[in-house]
Amino acid sequence: MKNGIKKLVISLSVVVGIAVFFSFRAEKDHNFEVAKNLDIFNSIVKELDMFYVDTIDPNVTIRRAIDAMLYSLDPHTSYYPADDQSELEQMIKGSYGGIGSIISYDPKNKYSVIAEPYEGMPAAEVGLKVGDILLQIDDTVLSDKDNQQVSEMLRGEIGTNFVLKVKRPGVEKPLDFTITRKSIQLPTIPYYGVLKDKVGYIEFVSFSGTPAADFKKAFVDLKNQGIESLIIDLRSNGGGLLDEAVEIVNYFVPKGDTIVTTKGKIKQASNTYVTKNQPLDTEIPIVLLVGGSTASAAEILAGSLQDLDRGVVIGNKTFGKGLVQIPRALPYGANMKLTSAKYYIPSGRCVQAIDYSHRDADGKVERIPDSLMTVFHTSIGREVKDGAGIMPDIEVKQDKLPNILFYLVTENHIFNYATDYCLKHKKIAPAKDFALSEADYQEFKEYIKGKDFKYDQQSEKVLSSLKEIAEFEGYLEESKSEFEALEKKLSHNIDKDLDYFSKDIKHILSLEIVKRYYFQKGSTIERLKQDKEVDEAVGILKGNTIYKNILSPAFKPMLSDSISVKLTKS
């Protein structure tokens, strides 16, 4: 017996020794490969600098090499040289030095224009208006600058001044504005308010800055206004700070719950995030609106409340970013944002949808297939899956915008008409009461027809292709009359199309007009008048019956069309 135990101990010692040896050897080989390739890279740069036919710019050449190397890992790991820290600072702090306005490029005039100034920010305070054409910054003429270059020139150190020359539609001479750059804090909650049936609504667009404090303030205010349920709109929220997401989850779940676990290569990258405070409200029914732009910390918020059966998720599949980034300081004032871990929400699943460690021969990556997804379970036993973002409990089909509207927007006809409209109307009704009149829409139709507006009709393209195929196969001659009749019916008719799609066109036109008077808040109020997913959420929260049925063990995710039939009879 003793000899047997002795042999077993010796055998185990040998196995452990072999494992340690190979582990040490693998680490040594890895370190050698890293050192070898760094030496080769340094030698290549030196050879290029000395012998290449043209003088290389080391900043440009090496930056391209760094960017290519990092992109081969994942798109979230990025390098920021000392003279280009504004983007990283904005992501971390949610702020930057600038004028506080979205600008867009007008390809027709070949200038950037003011597209949307933020309320209370320098652009709005000095009187810049949507549609103003940016001609000159101090002594620099902007006619040869693209939108990115103009944006970089508008940004700068907080407190610095510059003179902006603009051409305003309807005004003969250019206007000069002296602007002082300020710290631009992008709003995390552009709007919140009370909808019908005492439903609270919070539009939550970012996890940068102080989102938890902003959210708490909005929620407490809504509670004081008497809300009985809550919609959290995360459809435009691309994420941000992980610990802020955990704090917001804590507002609705008890102290001591594990919300997120991160797992990385090194011990410091692995962490567990637990709710630390007493919640604000563990009873109020919650619906979270999500979509393809919902990512990162926003997925933590939606996914955690789904896993804990604390809220119903409505909309469309989220982006699927289950990776955690940290900033790392580099020599000479540079920095990098580095993917250090994956995160896992309460059910144990990771929402990461793309495995960047596996690429095909062309270097492409694919979304994780359904066959490789693992089933997890919420607190009460509902099935959820990993590897595909957050799948909503109720999927709402997206309405397809008409083809004509795409061209009206991309060719700036909506934008330009709204500019003309604002020149003629010094003020409009409050956002909640504003409605585009039939006379206004008739004026818009005449405006479009005066622009000799043309757009591709898909039906005409398909018919033309079908005609070619019919001719090739010998059927055209006997079908000639049918084709001619169909061509007449599908011929371009701007009047007919503008009338047939008037509801969608009026909605986008109204959004463009209202935001010029009432900024982001007004734009949201206008959008809510025709928001399919918000209406779906209000219907689920009304009366609480459907809401409770969704949060039951037997529930299976479904399309919105079948909700009222299936769940009200449960």
Catalogue the active-site residues: 296, 307, 321
Length of the chain: 570
* Cα–Cα distance, 451 to 115 (Å, whole number): 21
Q: Which of 309, 296, 169, 306 is nearest to 240 (CA)?
A: 296
**Residue 350 structure tokens:** 């990771």
How does DSSP assign 122-134, residue by residue?
HHHHHT--TT-EE
* Cα–Cα distance, 80 to 87 (Å, whole number): 8
Cα separation values, 7 from 3, 10, 12, 19, 21, Å: 6, 5, 9, 18, 21
The angle that helices 58-71 and 2-51 make with each other, rounded to 10 degrees, is: 150
- Plot region of 493 (φ>0 → left; ψ -120 to 50 → alpha; else → beta): beta
> Which secondary-structure segment (H or E) carries 117?
strand 111-117
* One-letter amino acid for residue 483 of the chain: F
Place of tokens 């030698």: 43
Q: Which of 133, 126, 140 is nearest to 103 (CA)?
A: 133
State phi, psi for 89 to the nearest 5 degrees.
-65, -40
Q: Which residues pair with 290 in a beta bridge?
A: 315
Q: Are 231 and 289 in contact (CB under 8 A)?
A: yes
Cα separation values, 78 from 71, 325, 327, 336, 482, Å: 8, 10, 9, 6, 58
**Residue 303 structure tokens:** 């996914």
**Residue 85 structure tokens:** 């820290």
* One-letter amino acid for residue 408 of the chain: L
Q: Are 62 and 45 in contact (CB under 8 A)?
A: yes
Cα separation values, 526 from 119, 431, 514, 522, 523, Å: 17, 6, 7, 6, 5
SS3 call for 553:
coil
Count of H-run helices and E-run strands, the chain: 18, 22
* Cα–Cα distance, 559 to 393 (Å, whole number): 9
CA-derived radius of gyration, the chain: 29
Q: Which of 167, 180, 161, 165 is nearest to 122 (CA)?
A: 180
* Cα–Cα distance, 241 to 463 (Å, whole number): 51
Q: Are 463 and 486 in contact (CB under 8 A)?
A: yes
* Cα–Cα distance, 129 to 148 (Å, whole number): 20
